[in-house]
Structure 1
Amino acid sequence: MNNRCPTALVADDEPLLRKALVRMLAAAWPELNVVAQVRNGREAVEQFEALKPDVCFLDVHMPGLSGMEAARVIGRRAHLVFVTAYDQYAVQAFEQGALDYLIKPVEVERLEATIVRLRERLLAAKPLPDTTALLSLLVEHLRKDAVPAPLRWVHVSIGSTLRLVPVEQIDFLRSDEKYTLVAWRGEDGKPGEGLIRTPLKDLLGQLDASHFAQVHRAVVVNLRAISHVTRSLNETAHIHLKGRVEILPVSRSYLHLFRQM
């Protein structure tokens, strides 16, 4: 490595998370020049080929070409760091000593430790290890994993602010055109709401079925948040929530969930 500033690419399909990581990198690694910020694996590969950055921070789960698949294309030409909400793949890679990873939400201490390793590797200027076989294995694991790890929190946008909401605080989720509205109650008991880009149907498989139930094609409710349910004459029902004014519809298809009331 010569005396020039190291360069990096950051890939994440969530704009607020991508920008947050770039800000954290600027604070913890001032000499690093982030030359590209991209939204998916395809753009990551295109920008890598154009700019040849030294380090690539790749979100594992991106639409289209995943971070793992993009890493397989990039191969030994850059130092790779995976950024993921699910650690089973990245931990396996990290334990091999060839790759590094960050868990969302990214913590400063973990990022700083990763930067120390990256600096050492860049300074050593040794040939990068061949991770082709390992990346291929991880891509296959990613494709076969039909059930994502249970959600622990969601990243909710409130204007220009990003809030991390623990799943257990969520009262209900409702489809809202291109977004999903998340309604929660904080530790102070005050209700709040915001939007996420993940479709409701994609969230369903990641929620604990013993606590969350779909009650309408556009509504999922936390069963622990229900105060009572009222039946209607047309074989539907309405859910009343604890401490909230919203009343949620229960369609005929899901009425069986409340047969015993």
Structure 2
Amino acid sequence: MTALPTALIAEDEHLLAQALKAELARCWPELQVRHHAQDGDEAVEMALDALPDVLFLDIRMPGRTGLEAAQAVVEDWPEGRTLPLIVFVTAYDQYALQAFESCAVDYLLKPVQPARLAATCKRLQGLLGARQAPGADAATLRSAAGSSGQTTEPAQDMLSQLRQLLAASAGSGELLSPARAAPLTLLQCAGTSGNVVHMVPVEEVVFLEAADKYVRVITATQEHLIRTSLRELLPQLDANQFWQVHRGTIVQARAIERAVRDEQGKVQLHLRQRPEVLAVSRLYAPRFKGM
């Protein structure tokens, strides 16, 4: 027996989320909407835990935006499992079209109209049916998805498209992104007593690692904590010096001694001044290719 399709709705306005869920129940009764995330961070956590077939992501949410949430989900989606179908929900028509053309299956404009949602559901049903058909191949999925369907795109391509869309939206001010300041040169790290602040030069940092609501700052000889998120810290670092290698890890490029790829294609980084071995997400692995 084929399992019923599942979905997650990420929408910070409760009434809008309930209205979308109710309308989905009318036009697609088989779809199991099992989760409702109220912000982008919660959406990522729920999606990676439940692995739904479809994500309805509001573009503007507290924490991560819908685009940032989509990027985080794609980065950590289990290898070998088909990526979820993404539908962006937004009040901005032009922006939605950009998202749809790059990586989403479809988009919905607020307030969501029943006829438009029904058309989206039909499209999603066709894609899921094509995926489950015996012997389905890339050509079959391309035909079901149409010219802009995401199902033919590997995870790396989808991630690249999401990054391009994020960059474009930041440049246009669509997501109200702040202007990029000069890269940080010092990190102000609180001591364990709370009475001391350690000024850590950025060039001394070997790697940074997410730790709940903090970031671990690892130098050659010490470890500190800063009360921020890795997502907030990353744009403040020099991208030429600091490379994100996993959703929760950023490493200083010159601190890498070697990258080792195992028989399964997974990449691990060995560092010059630290004993830790850092895992590289499969979506960042292409960075480590011989010249």
Q: 1:111 aligns with which of 107, 113, 117?
A: 117
Amino acid at match of 1:116: K
The corresponding residue for 1:142 is 169
The corresponding residue for 1:24 is 23
SS in 1 for 2:61: coil
Amino acid at match of 1:134: Q
**Is contact 1:79-1:128 (8 Å) kept?**
no
- Cα distance in 2 for partners of 1:38, 1:26 equals 18
Q: Which runs of 5+ in 2 are unaligned?
A: 75-81, 132-140, 142-150, 177-291
Q: 1:132 aligns with which of 159, 176, 180?
A: 159
Q: Percent identity?
A: 45
Q: Which has the higher strand share?
A: 1
- Cα distance in 1 for partners of 2:174, 2:99 equals 20
- Cα distance in 2 for partners of 1:18, 1:25 equals 11
Q: Report how many residues are paired.
A: 148
Cα pair distance change 1:94/1:122, threshold 3 Å: same
Q: 1:89 aligns with which of 86, 89, 95?
A: 95
Cα pair distance change 1:28/1:132, threshold 3 Å: same
RMSD value over aligned CA atoms?
2.1
Cα pair distance change 1:32/1:138, threshold 3 Å: same
Cα pair distance change 1:11/1:98, threshold 3 Å: closer
Taking structure 2 as the reference length, the TM-score comes to: 0.48
- Cα distance in 1 for partners of 2:102, 2:69 equals 19
* Deviation for aligned residue 1:73: 1.7
Cα pair distance change 1:63/1:142, threshold 3 Å: farther
- Cα distance in 1 for partners of 2:173, 2:97 equals 19
Q: What is the CA deviation profile of residues 31-82 of structure 1, one whole-angstrom value per residue up to 9, with x for unaligned ones?
A: 0000100111100000011100000000000111000001112226200000
- Cα distance in 2 for partners of 1:67, 1:148 equals 10
* Deviation for aligned residue 1:86: 1.0
Taking structure 1 as the reference length, the TM-score comes to: 0.53
- Cα distance in 2 for partners of 1:128, 1:39 equals 30
Q: Which runs of 5+ in 1 are unaligned?
A: 150-261
Q: What is the CA deviation profile of residues 83-132 of structure 1, one whole-angstrom value per residue up to 9, with x for unaligned ones?
A: 00012222023235753100000001110111111001101115552322
Give 1 or 2 for the bigger CA radius of gyration: 1
Cα pair distance change 1:148/1:46, threshold 3 Å: closer
Amino acid at match of 1:49: L
SS in 1 for 2:8: strand
- Residues 196-235 of structure 1 correspond to what in structure 2 (within 5 A)? none
SS in 2 for 1:82: strand
- Cα distance in 2 for partners of 1:79, 1:55 equals 5
Q: What is the CA deviation profile of residues 205-247 of structure 1, one whole-angstrom value per residue up to 9, with x for unaligned ones?
A: xxxxxxxxxxxxxxxxxxxxxxxxxxxxxxxxxxxxxxxxxxx
The corresponding residue for 1:65 is 64
